[in-house]
Structure 1
Amino acid sequence: MPSPRISRAATSGNPNNANGRFEFMSLLTNKTSLSEQAPARLRTSDSPVHRKDSSSSQQQLPEEDCMKLNPSFLGIALRSLLAVDLWLSKTMGVCAREGSSWGSARPMMKLVEISGHGIPWIAGTMYCLYKSDSSAGREVILNLLFALLLDILLVAVVKGIVKRRRPIHNRMDMFATFSVDKYSFPSGHATRAAMVSRFMLNHLVLAVPVRILVMLWAIVVSLSRVMLGRHNVTDVLFGFFMGHMQYSLVEYLWLSPNTLPALFKI
């Protein structure tokens, strides 16, 4: 049986045991120092000054962020109206594609679209102006031509200002389009249909069935814009209203031999 002196000597002479004890003691020392530093950090983060700084940084938000967090009633109403407009326009676009629910009626709707296009109306008006042999008839037809040109100008200006894109389900296969026709608001067909129908009902002597057909034509042309997916509902509604206002403007700027005598002599 070994003596205690030999075992103590062997233990003290073994370098591995000494290093192991030193490493263990150093780990204990590091843990103790970390445990002492952690409460200090927590105390620093929980200090009143730190809480005050964090609360002040949260309260001092930019005005734009405050507006986003607290939207106005008008903004909510406009966004809701826009959502309803997009949903209703997509639901009513039954002829937007060949595979739509009313895709078989798409060719007929495109004929209605051409009947409300500006180029056929301007060309037909100029031909009637050339063939007219009465001064009263030339005056009416000349003002109709003026109304058509004014309609194209005003619609192009409004479209260029608003720059609303056409519905995503629209297929760009329209007849004779121009650069500004990539925009949707307002509907040029709706403005033209409303203005021309009101012009014809007030300045042409028409039978009752023909007057009814003129009004139905204006409604069908405006409705076809949504069915073909060309415009949203609000584009057509505003365009129809704008067409009525344009007619009032034409009446105010009516061209007569008294205002433009040289033109009527030609």
Structure 2
Amino acid sequence: MSRETPKRRPPLWLQQALAFDEQVTKKFVIWGNSWAPLHSLRVHYKALEITCHGIPWLAFWIAFTWLFNLPYLVELQVNIILALILDILFVALIKAYFRRRRPLANKNDAFAEFGPDHFSFPSGHCSRAAMVTIIFGFLWQVPLIMFPPLLAWTVALCLSRVLMERHYLLDVIGGVVLGIMEGLLMAILWIGDENARWLMNIVSDEKIEGADV
């Protein structure tokens, strides 16, 4: 008769930290939903959730790259796709390892949630938003006038993940930290224009000018 493998239990200090996180998150949600500026954000929660979901982002950039194979955008397109793949991979691995349950108040109505997405730590939406902010803020700088809306979107998204009770505060913080680290990693792995065009020439039937093949 085979013995059942005992469930992995986190150390006491971590259990206490998670319990504290749950209490603080609950108080934050009550306060946030009673404060008018944040309460008005509720109608946009679902839209914010979709705007930073990994599948639409990856699908959009692959389609955008395939349909609009423009020489001056190839470097950005290749690196964004690489960054999204890395983010999805890192988030899935970390979630599968920690396996933290989502808040009890969370409704199982999330868009395209499967596999490790059922777990809470870290927030993939927040990691992706932070990473995108790093990329467009520092690695492929958008015009300065576009950065405040980008930052506002990131902050609103992170707040919505808690107020929507999809995540605890620690999940969001962990997601943001992960996203920043991914942005720094992309600064190291960044594929230059010439190499990006070379890669695109390999996978595309259309030759892009400026790449040696």
Q: TM-score, normalised by structure 1?
A: 0.63
* Cα distance in 2 between the residues matched to 1:255 and 1:204: 12
Q: How does 1:22-37 map to 2 (within 5 A)?
A: none
- Amino acid across the alignment from 1:244: I
The alpha-carbon deviation at position 223 of structure 1 amounts to: 1.1
Which of 161, 168, 172 is residue 97 of structure 2 equivalent to? 161
1:241 aligns with 2:177: yes
1:171 and 2:103 aligned: no
In structure 2, the partner of 1:144 is: 80
The question of whether the paired residues in 1 share the 8 Å contact of 2:103 and 2:168 is answered with: yes
Q: Which residue of 2 aligns with 1:224?
A: 160
Match of 2:7 in 1: none
Matches within 5 A, 1:16-27: none
Structure 1 position 111 matched with structure 2 position 57: no
Deviation at 1:197, TM superposition (A): 1.1
- Structure 1 185/202 Cα, relative in aligned 2: closer, same or farther at 3 Å? same
Amino acid at match of 1:124: F
Please report how far the alpha carbon of residue 262 of structure 1 lies from its aligned counterpart in structure 2 after TM superposition.
5.0
Q: Distance in 2 between matches of 1:254 and 1:103?
A: 39
Q: Is the 8 Å Cα contact of residues 91 and 122 (structure 2) preserved in structure 1? A: yes
Where does structure 1 lack aligned partners over 5 or more consecutive residues?
A: 1-73
Q: Contact (CA 8 Å) 1:184, 1:230: kept in 2 or not?
A: yes
Contact 2:161–2:167 (Cα < 8 Å) also in 1: yes
1:121 paired residue number: 57
CA contact (8 A) 1:191 1:243 kept: yes
RMSD of the alignment, in Å?
Answer: 2.6
SS state at 2:190 partner: coil
Structure 2 contact 139–187 (Cα < 8 Å) conserved = no
Which is higher, the Rg of structure 1 or of structure 2?
1
Shift of 1:81: 3.0
1:83 is displaced (CA, Å) by: 2.8
Q: Which residue of 2 aligns with 1:184?
A: 120
Q: Find runs of 4+ consecutive structure 1 residues off by over 6 angstroms.
A: none
- Structure 1: distance between partners of 2:107 and 2:145: 35
Partner of 1:197: 133
Q: Larger RCO: Structure 1 or Structure 2 (Cα < 8 Å, ≥ 6 residues apart)?
A: 2
CA contact (8 A) 1:89 1:232 kept: yes
